[in-house]
Chains A and B, each alone.
Chain A
Amino acid sequence: GEDVEQSLFLSVREGDSSVINCTYTDSSSTYLYWYKQEPGAGLQLLTYIFSNMDMKQDQRLTVLLNKKDKHLSLRIADTQTGDSAIYFCAESIRGNTGKLIFGQGTTLQVKP
Chain B
Amino acid sequence: DAGVIQSPRHEVTEMGQEVTLRCKPISGHNSLFWYRQTMMRGLELLIYFNNNVPIDDSGMPEDRFSAKMPNASFSTLKIQPSEPRDSAVYFCASSLGGGGYTFGSGTRLTVV
Binding site for B on A (CB under 8 A): 30-31, 33, 35, 41-45, 48, 88, 92, 96-100, 102, 104-105
Contact = CB atoms under 8 A, between A and B. Distances in A.
Interface of B: 4, 31, 33, 42-43, 45, 48, 50, 55-56, 91, 93, 95-106
Nearest to B99: A98
Contacts of B33: 99
A30 B43 contact: no
A98 B104 contact: no
20 contacts: A30-B98, A31-B98, A35-B103, A42-B93, A42-B103, A42-B104, A43-B43, A43-B103, A45-B100, A45-B101, A48-B100, A96-B98, A97-B48, A97-B97, A98-B48, A98-B99, A99-B55, A99-B56, A102-B43, A104-B42
A60 to B, nearest CB: 19
B105 A42 contact: yes
Contacts of A97: 31, 48, 50, 55, 97-98
A31 B48 CA distance: 19
B101 A100 contact: yes
Given A42-B106, A99-B56, A105 B42 contact: yes
Nearest to A88: B43
Contacts of B102: 45
A99 B45 contact: yes
B45 A31 contact: no
Nearest to B101: A100
B45 to A, nearest CB: 7
A81 B42 CA distance: 24
A97 B98 CA distance: 6
